[in-house]
C-alpha cells in the first residue's frame, strides 16, 4: 500500500510528506519560534540515530540540559511548551535545513547532525512504516524502496535532506557525526560531541555513558519508560518500543537484491557525486565489507 492511498496519515507541506502529528499550522509557523543562543538541535533524517544521540546528550552528567520533544511535533502550542523549559534545551528534529526556524540560524545555535548509510536507513524505515500505526503501511520491501528512492516518504528524499545540511557542515555551529563512526569508536565520537558543546566529561563518565547508551540497554529502557509522555524524541510516534529494532550496521545486505543495490548505487553516485559526506559513507561501507 503506498503513501498516497492512506492520505489521512500524511500530509504534504512544501512538497514534502509529514505525519499528521505535525500540524500544518505548526510547520507554517516555525519561523516564529524564539530560539535561545544556548539551544542545541539534534538533527537527522528519520531512522539515522536521533534517539541514540538524544540518549547520549541526556546522560552527560551535570550538563544542565533538558531534552524536549521534537520542534515539529504537535500544534502551534508547541512554542509555548518549549518556552516554559527553564534550562538549556536539546531539541530533536528531522527538518531539512531550509525549514529550520530562522532564529536558530540567526543565533547560531549548536546543531549536531547525525547521518547514516542510506541503505540501512531505508531498511529501518521500511520496518518503521510497517510497525508504526501513524505511518502508511507498505506491504513489500520492493514497494517501499521505490517510494524511498523517489522521496515519497515522510520527510522527503534522503539525498535532498543530507545535501541541504551538508552545505552547512563547515559552519562553526554545526557538527556532523556519522552513525557508523559512533558504532566503531563511541568514545571518540562522544569526545567530539562534548568538546563541541563545551562540556567537560572525564573518562569514567564517558565509560558510564557508553554502557548506558548501548543498544541493548536503550531497548530495555524503552520498554520501562514507554509510559512517560515527556520522553518523546520522535515526531512519528510516542511508542518508544517502535524506535529500537536492531541498531546494527550493514543489515541492508539482507534485504537488497543485486538489482535493487545497482539501482540504489547509480542514484547515490548521481546525487552525491560532489558530496564529501557521500565519499565518507562509501568509505565506511567499503571498510565494513572488507
For the stretch 239-282, pLDDT in tens is 655 554 556 788 899 999 999 999 999 999 999 999 999 999 99
Of 218, 177, 169, which Cα lies nearest the Cα of 194?
177
Distance CA 21, CA 235 (A): 7
Helix then strand count (H, E) for the chain reads 13, 7
Of 272, 290, 274, 276, which Cα lies nearest the Cα of 119?
272
Please state the separation of Cα 223 from the chain's center in Å.
Answer: 20
| Strands lying side by side in the sheet with 174-178 | 65-67, 88-93, 40-43, 110-115, 174-178
Check the annotation: does 134 bind a ligand.
no
Please state the separation of Cα 95 from the chain's center in Å.
Answer: 9
Condensed to tens digits (0 to 9), the pLDDT of residues 192-249 reads 999 999 999 999 999 999 888 876 666 566 555 555 555 666 666 656 555 545 567 8
Report, as residue numbers or ranges, the catalytic residues. 94
What pLDDT is attached to residue 241?
Answer: 53
Of 152, 194, 193, 164, which Cα lies nearest the Cα of 277?
164
CB 87 within 8 A of CB 9: no
Check the annotation: does 129 bind a ligand.
yes
Assigned CATH for 3-289: 3.40.50.300
Distance CA 140, CA 230 (A): 34
Check the annotation: does 255 bind a ligand.
no
Q: Whole-structure pTM over 0.85, yes or no?
A: yes
Amino acid at each position: 500500500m503506498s503513501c498516497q492511498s492512506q492520505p489521512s496519515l500524511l500530509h504534504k507541506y512544501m512538497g514534502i510528506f509529514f505525519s499528521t502529528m505535525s500540524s500544518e499550522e505548526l510547520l507554517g509557523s516555525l519561523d516564529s519560534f524564539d530560539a535561545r543562543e544556548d539551544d542545541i538541535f539534534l538533527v537527522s533524517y528519520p531512522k539515522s540515530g536521533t534517539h541514540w544521540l538524544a540518549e547520549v546528550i541526556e546522560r552527560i552528567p551535570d550538563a544542565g540540559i533538558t531534552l524536549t520533544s521534537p520542534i515539529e511535533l504537535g500544534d502551534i502550542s508547541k512554542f509555548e511548551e518549549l518556552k516554559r523549559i527553564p534550562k538549556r534545551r536539546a531539541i530533536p528534529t528531522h527538518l531539512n535545513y531550509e525549514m529550520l526556524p530562522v532564529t536558530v540560524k540567526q543565533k547560531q545555535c549548536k546543531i549536531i547532525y547525525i547521518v547514516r548509510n542510506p541503505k540501512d536507513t531505508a531498511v529501518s524505515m521500511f520496518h518503521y512504516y510497517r510497525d508504526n500505526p501513524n505511518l502508511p503501511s507498505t506491504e513489500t520491501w520492493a514497494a517501499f524502496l521505490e517510494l524511498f528512492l523517489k522521496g515519497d516518504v515522510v520527510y522527503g528524499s534522503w539525498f535532498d535532506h543530507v545535501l541541504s545540511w551538508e552545505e552547512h557542515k563547515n559552519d562553526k555551529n554545526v557538527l556532523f557525526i556519522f552513525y557508523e563512526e559512533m558504532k566503531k569508536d563511541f568514545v571518540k565520537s562522544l569526545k567530539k560531541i562534548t568538546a563541541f558543546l563545551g562540556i567537560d566529561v572525564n573518562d569514567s563518565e564517558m565509560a558510564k555513558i557508553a554502557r548506558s547508551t548501548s543498544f541493548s540497554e536503550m531497548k530495555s529502557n524503552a520498554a520501562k519508560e514507554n509510559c512517560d509522555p515527556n520522553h518523546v524524541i520522535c515526531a512519528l510516534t510516542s511508542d518508544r518500543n517502535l524506535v529500537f529494532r536492531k541498531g546494527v550496521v550493514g543489515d541492508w545486505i539482507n534485504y537488497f537484491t543485486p538489482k535493487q543495490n545497482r539501482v540504489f548505487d547509480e542514484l547515490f553516485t548521481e546525487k552525491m557525486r560532489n558530496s564529501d559526506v557521500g565519499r565518507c559513507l562509501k568509505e565506511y561501507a567499503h571498510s565494513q565489507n572488507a
